[in-house]
Chain A
């Protein structure tokens, strides 16, 4: 089976712009979760989608949003970018989510905001 893929792998944006990141889960996986990883805060949960519905949301401002399509592919969007949004954005897929099942992570998108 192909693994989790994320596009783009690297992105440079300026403050105030918006960005859309894409994640394709492993075939058959219906849960997609997004995480932000920074050196200071570590891995922080953004949101989880299951069967096109946002099931859980972390403690991030409304500038962070996402969606999931019928083929389980997911996108996340960050509007009005701030310097502090520079991070590695990881998506993870699993069969049913909830964290008990093994989560398979993609390689991440490295976002740099200047």
Chain B
């Protein structure tokens, strides 16, 4: 089977940096993805890591360590609009994506 663990809630100050961790257990590994979902909105793709290391896209970065079954999403220069839920997800053998339960990020002034 497959499972992903991530913190349920994180609070951070505007302008700061926040890291959202994700650990996974999968039978077979095909990469780790991150999605953002604002309240009332649809999930939107943020990043994908297929190999170990850091992927950077503007203020967002994502890291993967396959040997540790661990990844994280790093958000820099936090803005109020970054308040949302963030999901890590992995493909499995019979499922396009298995999602973690999500981390609700609250950015405060």
- Which stretch of B54-62, B69-77, B93-101 is in the interface? B93-101
Asked if A100 meets B45 with Cβ closer than 8 Å, knowing A42-B99, A43-B87, A58-B95, the reply is: no
Known: A45-B97, A98-B91. A90 touches B43 (CB 8 A): yes
A48 interfacial contact with B, CB 8 Å: yes
Which residues from B are CB-within-8-Å of A58?
A: 95
Alpha-carbon gap, A86 to B89, bound state (A): 23
Q: B91 to chain A: which residues have CB within 8 Å? A: 98-100
Q: Is the interface of A mostly helix, strand, loop or mixed?
A: strand
A65 to B81, CA, bound (A): 37
Using a Cβ–Cβ cut-off of 8 Å, how many residues does chain B contribute to the interface with A?
A: 24
- Contact A43–B43 (Cβ < 8 Å): yes
Check if A31 sits within 8 Å of B96, measured CB to CB.
Answer: yes
| Bound complex: CA A108 to CA B98 (Å) | 18
The answer to whether B98 touches A45 (Cβ under 8 A) is yes
| Cβ-defined contact, A99 with B45, below 8 A | no
Contact at B89–A99, with CB atoms within 8 Å?
A: yes
Alpha-carbon distance between A108 and B40 when the two chains are bound, in angstroms: 9
Shortest Cβ gap from B86 to chain A (Å)? 12
